Structure 1
Amino acid sequence: MTVTRTTGETVTRRILQVGPLKPSLAATIADRYDALVLPDDDTRSAFLAEHGPSIGAVVTTGRTGVPGELMAQLPALGAVINFGVGYDTTDVETAAERGVLVSHTPDVLTDCVADTALGLAIDTLRHLSAADRFVRRGDWSDAAGYPLARKVSGKRVGILGLGRIGRAIATRFEAFGCPISYHSRREVPGSPYTYAATPAELAADVDILVLATSGGSGTQHLVDRTVLEALGPDGYLINIARGSVVDQDALVELLLEGGIAGAGLDVYADEPEVPEELMTLDTVVLLPHLASGTVETRAAMEQLTLDNLDRWLADGTVLTPVPEVSPRGAARSR
């Protein structure tokens, strides 16, 4: 499509869909922008050879993204428009080097993700899902009541990544009378919560460790065996961040051995694959990466995605750039 920007510049650029999108979003960019769709079969190379030089913007999600090898085949790429707050599947370092803007959809999903974190904690400690299965199996009788679970109110909560979502999670747990501490790459000025210098130090001093940091190479296995062992046999892990943040092998091993008390997981290292060993554990609650999955939030995410695309087409900027390729700084908390 040919675009005349507010600067007077006229550019001819095509829009490319990379990976599956929300159906209404895919339909909109096809109808409104005549977007192409990147094939996921053996025709991809021929498609990129023909269309790659004309692609100006990619619309994708945090689950698919634009890796460096794909970016290299899009020489005119100016923007990666991401549906979702996470963008660790996009090579932001290469994007920054090439001057390619990367946008995401922060803020609009904060409440729903924070709600999910709290819900996971309640379910994990009180065994609500497991108790539901207990009833459905017909195991409840006069002689067999469900075993006692753990109280949530008043538990010490540690938040790894005190960004927008981390602060929203903290507010919710405060309503349960929970003391809050946190670790981020740097101490947050003016925060009322206790700062821990390292993830292990944070884990050692809490009952519930909630992960709210961003993904990517900078946080790969930030929660390693040392951190999990510091959390200990009475501690619970809640992850609504990214599966890559946790050493999943160590997590599975410690859950099986009783090295930590339980976990509530919305994300995994190799989605949609979930470790088979976790499937039968009543100490673990497993969700299919649905933290932002409400009608209201997904509609707001879709609109912000389109607004970012429209802004780039209009003047070559985006409304919500990711920190690594913008002058806003490099905070990695979600």
Structure 2
Amino acid sequence: MSPLSAVRAALRVYAAGTAVVVAQLLRRCRGGFAEPVFPRQPERVAVVTGGTDGIGYATAKYLARLGMHVILAGNNDRKAEEAVRKIKEETLNEKVEFLYCDLASMMSIRQFVQNFKMKKIPLHVLVNNAGVMMVPQRKTKDGFEEHLGLNYLGHFLLTHLLLDTLKASGSPGRCARVVTVSSATHYVGELNLDDLQGSTSYSPHGAYAQSKLALVLFTYRLQHLLAAQGSHVTANVVDPGVVDTDLYKHLFWGTRLLKKLFHWWLFKTPDEGAWTSVYAAVTPALEGVGGRYLYNEKATKSLALTYDRELQRQLWARSCQMTGIPDGSGDAD
């Protein structure tokens, strides 16, 4: 990518973020964000990736408060031990645990799934939350560009390997749910199927936006296939807004300064950022409903390109090739 193209990609991403921040500020001026109320979820099991920090931690804590058995999937044992302890303490729910899963490693993902299945428990909610944001160009353990490999392909593989358990756990009137976290940057993302890894050019802003765009396309394709199979599983994608987490260390210094000075006013708290994920995971209003892009606990339109069925199919097929799993989706078209 030429320097000019990289600058353009950065400007598009910052413009998308600014629009969200302005909308959040206006909402705070009108009274702020009201915490939603959800029914308890006894006997339900959830897996939350990136559950030791930020939005993932807040999501896991809320689901635990609702009575769920929550499994935090992450790659930091020290943080995980503290996160599990705090969630148990704050929610009085002892059914909170950690399983190691490095989404930058397909071997680790497969090991996580094996360890989970050895527990012989159902899975009612999978929250694909973990991610990196605008990191310098670097590779995952499998040689993928990190945004694509961790944010997208890692969750693509994890979801695929857990689908049989999700399908077995869902039932009529009580579907299992896949909740995938994207962002407003998908609106300015560009998908290059001929060079998904940015091997000929690289922009951290463009790579991040592409990974979030891919997650939306993946969700819509997954929902299409699940519906065609008559599965009692739904898939939705959520936009948490601009949230005060630790993901901003690679952003432009002015953005980091703005966050440091005014995060309490311009940014959502992690709890507020988690509410849409929790909504997608448990609300009765979405029972049996999939293929939605949700923002502030409401369905809204994603980028027009994301509704392109052929593009969804092509990305799915390419993702299967990259992760080494069979693409058995053709019969559902």
- Provide TM-score, normalisation by structure 1: 0.34
> Rg bigger for which structure?
1
Higher helix share: 2
